[in-house]
Amino acid sequence: MASSPQPHANEPTPTLGRRRIGVPALVFMIIAASAPLTVVAGGVPTNFAVTGLLGVPLSFIVLGAVLVVFSIGYSAMSQHVHNAGAFYAYISLGLGKPIGVGAAWVALMSYNAMQIGIYGLFGFALSSFAGGVAGLEVPWWMCALAGWAAVGILGVNKVDLSAKVLGVLVALEFLVVVIYDVLAVRTAPEGMSGAPLEPTSLFAAGVGAAFAFSIAAFMGFESGAIYSEEVKDPRTTARRATLIAVVVIAAFYALSSWAMAVGEGPSQVLARSTEFGPDLLFVFLGEHAPKWFVDLSALLFITSLLAALVAFHNVVARYFFSLGREGVLPRVLARTNPRTQAPAAGSLTQSVLALMLLIVFAVAGNGHEAGPLFPVLTLFTWLTNMGAFGLVLLMALTSVAVVGYFRRNRHDYGIGTRTIAPIIGAIALITVFGLIVAYFDVLIGLSEPNVLSWLLPAIILVPGLFGTAWAGWIARNRPDIYAGIGRGADIGDGPERGRVSDNEPSVNQQ
């Protein structure tokens, strides 16, 4: 049974498990959210096919550089602001509490959309695997429910258990992709080629769509700061893990997509990607590797999705916890498991939301003309792109918030960290967000605009407007709660609660 939240200032503030996550574990948790095998097997061929550009590998390098610049100010701020609702806290302290609460609602919608959407591909992949390997006909929604149960169990347990599970799964994913890369480079029917890395192969018609597709591969890297209350060293762990994860993700995806282009042949990869889509990697392995390895790779593709589900579930649970602790949402959401100190109420809330949407899509997909692909074409495609839409917007706002925060709290950083890098990051991320808006129809698989073109983005953005209005109501009617917005574990600790000191290394330092 979860412990009760503490609504009064003179009572202990609900906290998460302390000092449990080190740099390696956090890196694995960040990378797990990006689902490496899923991106290489599914995202990269789709990018090649839809954009018709050979320069997809270069897009990962460019975006990696953008996110490294973004991370300079973001990771510096993470040393001083320790809050499980990272974007919410950063924007509240940098741009003002009303915008911060609005951002919190956008973050909840975006992360939930990303997490729940992945169930569509997970259910389809597990159902197909059961049919192909064991000859079992299991509906996608039943497979999705099996994953839902596993995620729910991990969500209410110690965070280091999730870290260990994700560490194993991510390591196996990397191993499969590395083997694929080696086989692809060894095969190279047209020889080694640097064409996929040439600027002219990327910066042509369709480059906007390429960036819009590729940025989705990085979603989740920003979650390092969300675990800042649970890491071993709040001032360094999240910062180091975030920078390491960005570099590893960018380099790994650039190398693997280049290997795919070389393995198929630069003159053939676009046509082969169009023909086979997300099956391209497995078709290649079927031609060059033993059957048992192909089956193992297909199984690890499924566990890759499971790892991403767990990672995003943990993020959502901590957002609910943070907002409940500060009274922005009902305080019951701040309840933690007394044994594991996991955000039990937030975890259960996310599980209930996921279950409700799974039921809706299971009913809607019954007898649908799309057949077995229904959960991929709808639940997965719609919701994950909605999530990416919202998260890129939040990253852009966070870059601007970093400038605002360090203008009032300079600490010992130079102008590059405090101002120049965040501004460059903001401009680049606003540009990427604009590309996502421009190519949103393409991202969700529409041949021409329809009601989904504006409805899906509206589902992400409109709650943000309500959140901003809600912050105004709190300011007028609950000034005590309003004063603690964005302060994290400091609220409820007496008359000095919520205070940010220019002289202290952290607003939450215990």
Q: Determine the Cα–Cα distance for residues 223 and 226; give it in Å rounded to an integer.
A: 5
Q: Determine the Cα–Cα distance for residues 125 and 127; give it in Å rounded to an integer.
A: 5
Whole-number pLDDT of residue 475: 95
Compute the residue count for the chain. Answer: 510
Residue 138: both structure tokens together = 């299991």
Tell me the sheet residues that pair with 231. Answer: 21
Whole-number pLDDT of residue 80: 85
Q: Is 265 helix (H, G, I), strand (E, B) or coil?
A: coil
* Rg (the chain; Cα; Å): 22
Whole-number pLDDT of residue 25: 80
Angle at 220 between CA 218 and CA 225, to 5 degrees: 125
Q: Is 231 helix (H, G, I), strand (E, B) or coil?
A: strand
Whole-number pLDDT of residue 166: 78
Q: Determine the Cα–Cα distance for residues 286 and 51; give it in Å rounded to an integer.
A: 26
Residue 342: both structure tokens together = 């996991």
**Chain mean position to CA 94:** 22
pLDDT less than 70: residues of the chain: 1-20, 159-162, 488-510
Q: Determine the Cα–Cα distance for residues 299 and 296; give it in Å rounded to an integer.
A: 5
Neighbours of 404 (CB within 10 A): 17
Say which residues have a Cβ less than 8 Å from residue 244's Cβ, sequence separation at least 6: 23, 27
State residue 211 phi and psi, 5-degree precision.
-65, -40
pLDDT digits (tens, 9 = 90+) for 323-372: 999 999 999 999 988 887 888 999 999 999 999 999 999 999 988 888 88
Superfamily of domain 23-488: Amino acid/polyamine transporter I (1.20.1740.10)
Residue 279: both structure tokens together = 């099956």
Closest to 116 in 3D by CA, of 339, 334, 338, 385? 385
Residue 301: both structure tokens together = 């593709």
This prediction has a pTM of: 0.88
Q: Determine the Cα–Cα distance for residues 17 and 158; give it in Å rounded to an integer.
A: 8
Q: Determine the Cα–Cα distance for residues 368 and 470; give it in Å rounded to an integer.
A: 39
Q: Is 81 helix (H, G, I), strand (E, B) or coil?
A: coil
pLDDT digits (tens, 9 = 90+) for 420-429: 999 999 999 9
Whole-number pLDDT of residue 506: 37
Secondary structure letter of residue 21 according to DSSP: B
Tell me the sheet residues that pair with 21. Answer: 231
Closest to 119 in 3D by CA, of 355, 279, 348, 299? 355
Residue 448 zone, left/alpha/beta (φ > 0; ψ -120 to 50; rest): beta
